[in-house]
Chain A
Amino acid sequence: MSQSNSEKTLWLSGNEAIARGAWQAGVTVASGYPGTPSTEILENLVKYDDVYCEWAPNEKVALEAALGACFAGARVLATMKHVGLNVAADPLFTSSYTGVRGGIVIVNADDPEMHSSQNEQDNRNYAYAAKLPMLEPCDPAEAKEFLKTAYWLSEGYDTPVIVRTTTRIAHVKGQVAPGEKSSSSVSPEIVKDAAKFVMLPANARNRRKFVTERMKKLSDFAETFPENRIEWGDGTRGFITSGISYLYVKEAFPEAAVLKLGMVWPLPEKMIRSFAEQVDELFIVEELDPFLELHIKAMGIRCHGKDLIPAEGELNPAVIRKAITGEESSKFAPVALPPRPPNMCPGCPHRGLFYALSKQKVFVAGDIGCYTLGFLPPLSSMDSCVCMGAGVSAVHGMAKALGEEGMGKEVAVIGDSTFVHSGITGLINIVYNDSYSTVIILDNRITAMTGQQPNASSGTNIKGEPAQMLNFEELCRAIGVKHVITVNPHEMSETKKVLKEEINRPEPSVVISRAPCVLIPSEKKRVKVPYWTKIENCTGCKACLGLGCPAIHWVPVTPEEGAKLGFKEKQKGHSEISIELCNGCGQCAELCKFDAITIKEDK
């Protein structure tokens, strides 16, 4: 909330505010993996010179690295998106038992509505399942303060703390009081404490008892935590809510009584009971799962929840108002229009690879990244996409199910960052358990979809400093892949030839499709020579349109216009390149058999 502050108020996104809060709380080590909507936290935290930040290969490694730093006594932060916490779930559950030395906070970003995700799981369930406290801010100002609270809780109650955001916290900008860096500091040192940190059964059973006691103490804390607060209204309708839903409720029902939970696990049962008794009708408003509702109903309290409020997608004030009063806010119905799905950029190397792949008529086991867009027409070259690394593992499973029949009929595609994240183990399985699978590594040198973060194969670290560059060719050979071939995906006919050979090979093989993402700063700076259309040469064959490049479009012509252009009677139009969009990759020129696409210079 904005406060009259003599200092200049900042205007920050939730992610910027979280970075600031972590720094002010005395964090010195932070590790994470990029994932929308969590990515900008580390990108902002790295700007503070007194914090060590890194992009880890995946979320499990990030959380384990963070745990190690916490065992050494530092205050640490781990950041990830909701599905990333699945990957990190293994250390998460046991870190609940070990507890901490320095404070550890995991910022977990959920993505209701799946703006940039493959599912919309509700990670509040992790707090319950792993027996960990979870804070949920409603705006950037709270996000910053909650980080500080989280470290205080972590060290005070010997527990990792999860701070949960959603897209509308992470990517919302609002006013934030600048605040100050905490003076309390920690000095890392090695302290051996096997009973606490060695989780074999005998120790773990003891720590299990501790976890129960800790959660009981945290439940007591929840009753007095000022961020679990009641805002009394007219008393007829009462709402229990948290996070972004709180702001929607305030907007939709400004006069109503609200119990706002800043801590969504464990719950303040006494406070909830007393609130429920003092309102005529109780509504639980939350996005996604009936998490609060289930636990409140388990207390034996009657309330409305998912009987009225949608469990799918994002909420907004109008959705809540309509669910409760039936009142429709929109006056105008949507007009049916051609869809506008996202697309790969002009000059994207993935397009060349997928074009070549689209000619192979194979099942493409895909993965998570920009290249998932290869699914869309006209390329239509992806047949499955589940989670990070799934394509590599799945293509092997398909081979085993199909036997010899399946040879030459399926292939996996995976990006460079995704391969490092979760693809390597799948490739080991292909070699170790001997299938004929082929894996294509789409190596564009960067983690592109989340905004060009460097990874272990980029040659730079999060600060842009030089770093060891993982060599995919050597890695794959070391795993035992005998056939590792590197292609330039912009050269599509050569790529097509290689793909055909490798997909049909009766042994494991890897094709590395390597060309840089057009959004890498060095590529953006590079002067590109755009292509253009010699319209008089265009026969209207539409071959170039098969690429689905945003810089090429079809221009229909009338018979009169066609005649003027010297077209044959049958020709209904021509292709045209928007020079201001063209990145000069030349893929379309390779496809044009009529010399209608050339670089501007040889006009």
Chain B
Amino acid sequence: MSEQGNILFCGVGGQGILLASEVTAYSLLAAGMDVRKSEVHGMAQRGGSVTAHLRYGDKVYSPLISPGEADIVVAFEMMEAVRYLPYLHNDSKMIVNTHKILPPAIATGKMDYPENVLDELTSRDIHLKAFDAFEIARRVGEVRAVNIVMVGVLSSYLPIDGQVYVDVMNERIPEKFRDVNIKAFQEGRKLAAQTG
């Protein structure tokens, strides 16, 4: 397969970004691609702004995506989507969870959550897919499955059969959480199909 691409996952520590990037990576591997992924542990996971870089193709060198070179950005939080704007190029696609998570300065009333923050993206003609993944996860019955809803939407942009992801989840997610996550994945995929 000659497909190649750079996917940047971004959001807030604790949202399950590592698992989402892991499921995506194993699915790409199962499709026979070289995959590299870079993430940061420790201090960076305590509710701060976090990223996981995932690169795939025939042969990948750098595990980091350079600014201006992310083909798809999967943003788990609306303001974080805008924070990683410099990683986009003209044809990038962006998948955004519009659920807000308030950083300390906003939660304590010292600053305001920027209004209409997504305008920063739409005004730059960025291909945007924005929706409330938290609401979908709640509907599915597990708010922690937000990350897999995001993978479901992302999967529709990648050249792999949906079943590959399901197989990966069957193999890698503990039985207790498996069904609800697969349901979350299917809901994400459905959503992507609805609005193109």
Give every chain B residue within 8 A of A39 (Cβ-Cβ).
41
Contact assessment for A548 and B68 in the assembled complex, using a CB-CB cutoff below 8 Å: no
Contact assessment for B120 and A335 in the assembled complex, using a CB-CB cutoff below 8 Å: yes
Q: Which of A36, A335, A552 is packed against the most chain B CB atoms within 10 Å? A: A335
| Binary CB contact string for chain B from 87 to 121 against chain A (1 if under 8 A, 0 otherwise) | 11110000000000011111111110110010010
Contact assessment for A251 and B68 in the assembled complex, using a CB-CB cutoff below 8 Å: no
How far is A187 from B135 in the complex, measured between Cα atoms in Å?
A: 60
How far is A322 from B122 in the complex, measured between Cα atoms in Å?
A: 28
Contact assessment for B36 and A173 in the assembled complex, using a CB-CB cutoff below 8 Å: yes
Q: Is A334 an interface residue (CB 8 A)?
A: yes
How far is A167 from B4 in the complex, measured between Cα atoms in Å?
A: 24
Contact assessment for B107 and A550 in the assembled complex, using a CB-CB cutoff below 8 Å: yes
Contact assessment for B79 and A338 in the assembled complex, using a CB-CB cutoff below 8 Å: yes
Q: Is B189 an interface residue (CB 8 A)?
A: no
Give every chain A residue within 8 A of B79 (Cβ-Cβ).
337-338, 340
Closest to A174 in B: B36
Q: Which of the candidate stretches A120-128, A370-378, A423-431, A461-469 sits at the interface with the other chain?
A: A370-378
Out of B43, B82, B111, which one reaches A335, CB within 8 Å? B82
Out of A37, A339, A450, A552, which one reaches B105, CB within 8 Å? A339
Give, as a whole number of angstroms, the nearest-CB distance from B123 to chain A. Answer: 11
Closest to A572 in B: B109
Q: Is A294 an interface residue (CB 8 A)?
A: no
Question: Given that A11-B29, A167-B40, A333-B86 are known contacts, is A550 also in contact with B105, CB under 8 Å in the complex?
Answer: no
Contact assessment for A318 and B41 in the assembled complex, using a CB-CB cutoff below 8 Å: no
Q: Is B34 an interface residue (CB 8 A)?
A: yes
Q: Which of A39, A337, A553, A580 is packed against the most chain B CB atoms within 10 Å? A: A337
Contact assessment for B83 and A335 in the assembled complex, using a CB-CB cutoff below 8 Å: yes
Give, as a whole number of angstroms, the nearest-CB distance from B169 to chain A. Answer: 16
How far is A370 from B87 in the complex, measured between Cα atoms in Å?
A: 30
Q: Is A342 an interface residue (CB 8 A)?
A: yes
Contact assessment for B47 and A342 in the assembled complex, using a CB-CB cutoff below 8 Å: yes
How far is A300 from B19 in the complex, measured between Cα atoms in Å?
A: 50
Contact assessment for A316 and B80 in the assembled complex, using a CB-CB cutoff below 8 Å: no
Q: Is A480 an interface residue (CB 8 A)?
A: no
Contact assessment for A342 and B108 in the assembled complex, using a CB-CB cutoff below 8 Å: no
Contact assessment for A329 and B108 in the assembled complex, using a CB-CB cutoff below 8 Å: no
How far is A317 from B41 in the complex, measured between Cα atoms in Å?
A: 22
How far is A115 from B87 in the complex, measured between Cα atoms in Å?
A: 19
Question: Given that A329-B69, A338-B103, A553-B102 are known contacts, is A174 also in contact with B42, CB under 8 Å in the complex?
Answer: no
Give every chain B residue within 8 A of A332 (Cβ-Cβ).
68, 85-86, 88, 124
B:9-64 near A, CB below 8 Å: 12-13, 25-26, 29, 34-49, 59-64
Contact assessment for B62 and A171 in the assembled complex, using a CB-CB cutoff below 8 Å: no
Give every chain A residue within 8 A of B80 (Cβ-Cβ).
340
B:152-170 near A, CB below 8 Å: none
Q: Is B141 an interface residue (CB 8 A)?
A: no
How far is A423 from B12 in the complex, measured between Cα atoms in Å?
A: 33
Contact assessment for B90 and A318 in the assembled complex, using a CB-CB cutoff below 8 Å: no
Question: Given that A542-B108, A548-B104 are known contacts, is A330 also in contact with B13, CB under 8 Å in the complex?
Answer: no
Question: Given that A11-B29, A173-B25, A334-B86 are known contacts, is A343 also in contact with B62, CB under 8 Å in the complex?
Answer: no
Closest to A138 in B: B61
Give, as a whole number of angstroms, the nearest-CB distance from B138 to chain A. Answer: 9
Contact assessment for A139 and B46 in the assembled complex, using a CB-CB cutoff below 8 Å: no
Contact assessment for B86 and A330 in the assembled complex, using a CB-CB cutoff below 8 Å: yes
Give, as a whole number of angstroms, the nearest-CB distance from B122 to chain A. Answer: 13
How far is A464 from B43 in the complex, measured between Cα atoms in Å?
A: 24
Contact assessment for A172 and B38 in the assembled complex, using a CB-CB cutoff below 8 Å: yes
Contact assessment for B104 and A377 in the assembled complex, using a CB-CB cutoff below 8 Å: yes
Out of A36, A173, A317, A546, which one reaches B43, CB within 8 Å? A36
Closest to B45 in A: A342
Q: Is A573 an interface residue (CB 8 A)?
A: yes
Contact assessment for A548 and B26 in the assembled complex, using a CB-CB cutoff below 8 Å: no
Q: Is A248 an interface residue (CB 8 A)?
A: yes
How far is A339 from B105 in the complex, measured between Cα atoms in Å?
A: 8
Give, as a whole number of angstroms, the nearest-CB distance from A364 to chain B. Answer: 19
Give every chain A residue within 8 A of B63 (Cβ-Cβ).
139, 168, 172, 174, 244, 247
Closest to A554 in B: B109
Interface residues of A (CB under 8 A from B): 2, 11, 36-37, 39-40, 115-116, 139, 167-168, 171-175, 244, 247-248, 250-251, 314, 316-319, 321, 329-335, 337-345, 370, 373, 376-378, 449-451, 542, 545-546, 548, 550, 552-554, 556, 573, 580
Apart from the given pairs A168-B64, A556-B109, A573-B109, 13 other A-B contacts in the complex at a CB distance below 8 Å: A139-B36, A168-B38, A171-B38, A174-B37, A318-B66, A330-B86, A337-B79, A339-B105, A340-B47, A340-B79, A342-B46, A548-B108, A550-B104
